[in-house]
């Protein structure tokens, strides 16, 4: 009989290996985006050249050329708590997958029992002892479900896809972290440069105010000119305090992203001191976007929904479980392993659903989850396409904006010099100097902002194209 059980186990194992599940066959949905990136005046040429690498092909350490920024990213990858949580979620998903996979294999347990009891005289035959003892040791399989219809394998497939989705989510978190660090680093550099402009402007306005105050005391300048000069000094002080605050907040944000306080030697002096990232090629939408970790995570969730349908379908079919036991039993502990005390048992159980509305409801839920996962997958692709298109539109127009703004700064600077000279010689009022100075300050700050936008957009384009996961 033991040999028959062994043969049955071999047959079942072969059947489990060669059988298939009831999950619908998965085919990758067509990407709901155009074949090419948008074209027009706002977009640059997107020709692919061998000299310009694509974002997924370029490691973040190769894309970012600034050494301080590279060291900062390394520290953040080691200490950032969001990335650490993402890694722990991967470990958790991996463990859950192993738990679900273990359901396919039988569980073998060893047990030992010792029982001693006294029975009432009314329940025994004359001459039988009232006190009985029983000792036994068993080794067996407890309720092993034979996965004929692939329910357990579908659940294992679902757990595997969820684990792979979590791994892709970790990669997506890393891309987001690197992008956030670089953007915050550039913002800090821009705010420090703006702080320098605000400090220089305050010094200039203070010197002008001191000059007008002397002229006012001598009766040359009017009180109106003095008050107008004072408003410029007060406005410059306010701007200096504002950018001092922004720089401090930028450093706080950088410390949080890095996971530890960032040393001053790793911080940028100003925007001009930052080395720009490398140029990258956007490639083709379907080639690049489908490799983005967040889109791959959404696709794994879609595959998991397909597997869940297989498990829901298998619930309509019978469940077969086996239980076997091999051991020894005796009424004396010393005779537990004596000849003739061996025992065994083998049982089969088949449970067939007849009427259970929950099964149909669960099947409808699995179909709805597949449609939800499909919509989320398609939305992720469309969102990624929009993100890249927006970054490309900025890339195609930002240089023109910077050139125009540089010309505006130069013109305002010359205007300010002329207005100041005319006021000094008494040709014009101080109001023209005031307007010229305001225009110059605004143009200088706007130029810093545009330069920061250009560098930050290069970082964003790299991130939205899927770069930075390795």
pTM (predicted TM-score): 0.84
The pLDDT of residue 178 is 94
The pLDDT of residue 57 is 87
What mean pLDDT is reported for the chain? 87
Report pLDDT digits (tens) over 180-191: 999 999 999 999
Q: State the average pLDDT over residues 82-93.
A: 89
Asked whether residue 3 carries a pLDDT value surpassing 90, the answer given is: no
Domains of the chain: 23-103+147-317+368-464 (1.20.1600.10), 105-146+319-352 (2.20.200.10)
Q: State the average pLDDT over residues 275-285.
A: 89
Report pLDDT digits (tens) over 191-224: 999 999 999 999 988 988 888 888 888 888 788 8
The pLDDT of residue 2 is 54
The pLDDT of residue 1 is 45
Q: Which residues contact 233 (CB under 8 A, 6 or more apart)?
A: 202, 205, 206, 209
The pLDDT of residue 267 is 94
Q: How confident is the model at residue 18 (pLDDT cuts 50, 70, 90)?
A: very low
Pairing, β 319-330 against β 108-118: unpaired
Q: Three-state secondary structure along the chain? A: CHHHHHHHHHHHHHHHHHCCCCCCCCCCCCCCCCCCCCCCCCCCCCCCCCCCCEHHHCCHHHHCCCHHHHHHHHHHHHHCHHHHHHHHHHHHHHHHHHHHHHCCCCCEEEEEEEEEEECCHHHCCCCCCCEEEEEEEEEEEEEEEECCCCHHHHHHHHHHHHHHHHHHHHHHHHHHHHHHHHHHHHHHHHHHHHHHHHHHHHHHHHHHHHHHHHHHHCCCCCHHHHHHHHHHHHHHHHHHHHHHHHHHHHHHHHHHHHCCCCCHHHCCCCHHHCCCCCCCECCCHHHHHCCCHHHHHHHHHHHHHHHHHHHHHHCCCCEEEEEEEEEEEECCHHHCCCCCCEEEEEEEEEECCCCCHHHHHHHHHHHHHHHHHHHHHHHHHHHHHHHHHHHHHHHHHHHHHHHHHHHHHHHHHHHHHHHHHHHHCCCCCHHHHHHHHHHHHHHHHHHHHHHHHHHHHHHHHHHHCCCCCC
Q: How confident is the model at residue 258 (pLDDT cuts 50, 70, 90)?
A: very high
Q: Which residue has the higher pLDDT, 380 or 49?
A: 380
Highest mean pLDDT among 40-44, 111-115, 193-197, 336-340: 193-197
Question: Could you tell me the sign of the dihedral formed by the alpha carbons of 266, 269, 275, 276, in that order?
Answer: positive
Give the range among 66-70, 241-245, 343-347 with minimum mean pLDDT: 343-347
The pLDDT of residue 8 is 56
Asked whether residue 13 carries a pLDDT value surpassing 60, the answer given is: no
The pLDDT of residue 4 is 57
The pLDDT of residue 12 is 56
């Amino acid at each position: 009989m033991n040999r028959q059980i062994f043969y049955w186990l071999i047959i079942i194992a072969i059947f489990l290996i060669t059988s298939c599940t009831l999950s619908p066959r998965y085919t990758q949905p067509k990407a709901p985006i155009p074949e090419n990136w948008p074209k027009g005046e706002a977009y640059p040429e997107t020709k692919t050249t061998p000299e310009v690498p694509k974002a997924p092909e370029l490691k973040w350490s190769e894309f970012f050329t600034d050494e301080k920024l590279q060291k900062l990213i390394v520290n953040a990858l080691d200490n950032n708590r969001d990335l650490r949580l993402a890694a722990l979620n991967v470990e958790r998903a991996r463990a859950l997958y192993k738990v679900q996979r273990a359901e396919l294999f039988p569980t073998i347990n060893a047990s030992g029992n010792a029982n001693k009891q006294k029975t009432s005289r009314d329940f025994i035959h004359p001459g039988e002892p009232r006190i009985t003892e029983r000792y036994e040791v068993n080794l067996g399989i407890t309720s092993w479900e034979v996965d004929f219809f692939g329910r357990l394998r579908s659940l294992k497939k679902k757990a595997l896809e969820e684990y792979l989705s979590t791994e892709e989510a970790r990669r997506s978190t890393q891309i987001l972290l690197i992008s956030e660090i670089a953007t915050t680093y550039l913002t800090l550099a821009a705010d420090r440069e703006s702080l320098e402009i605000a400090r220089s402007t305050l010094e200039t306005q203070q010197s002008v105010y001191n000059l007008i105050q002397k002229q006012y005391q001598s009766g040359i300048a009017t009180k109106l000119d003095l008050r107008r000069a004072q408003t410029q000094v007060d406005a410059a002080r306010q701007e200096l305090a504002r950018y001092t605050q922004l720089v401090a907040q930028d450093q706080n944000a950088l410390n949080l992203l890095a996971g530890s306080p960032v040393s001053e030697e790793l911080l940028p002096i100003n925007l001009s001191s930052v080395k720009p990232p490398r140029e990258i090629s956007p490639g083709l939408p379907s080639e690049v976007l489908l490799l983005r970790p967040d889109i791959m995570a959404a696709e794994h969730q879609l595959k998991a929904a397909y597997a869940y349908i297989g498990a829901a379908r298998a619930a309509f079919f019978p469940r077969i479980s086996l239980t076997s036991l091999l051991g020894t039993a005796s009424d004396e502990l010393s005779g537990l392993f004596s000849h003739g005390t061996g025992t065994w048992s083998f049982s089969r159980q088949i449970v067939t659903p007849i009427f259970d509305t929950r099964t149909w409801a669960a099947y409808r839920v699995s179909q709805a989850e597949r449609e939800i996962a499909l919509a989320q997958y398609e939305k992720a692709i469309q969102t990624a396409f929009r993100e890249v298109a927006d970054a490309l539109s900025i890339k195609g127009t930002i240089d023109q904006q910077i050139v125009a703004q540089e010309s505006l700064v130069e013109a305002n600077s010359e205007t300010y010099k002329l207005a100041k000279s005319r006021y000094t010689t008494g040709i014009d009022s101080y109001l023209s100097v005031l307007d010229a100075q305001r225009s110059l300050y605004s143009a200088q700050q706007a130029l810093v902002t545009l330069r920061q936008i250009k560098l930050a957009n290069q970082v964003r384009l790299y991130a939205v194209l899927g770069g930075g996961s390795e």
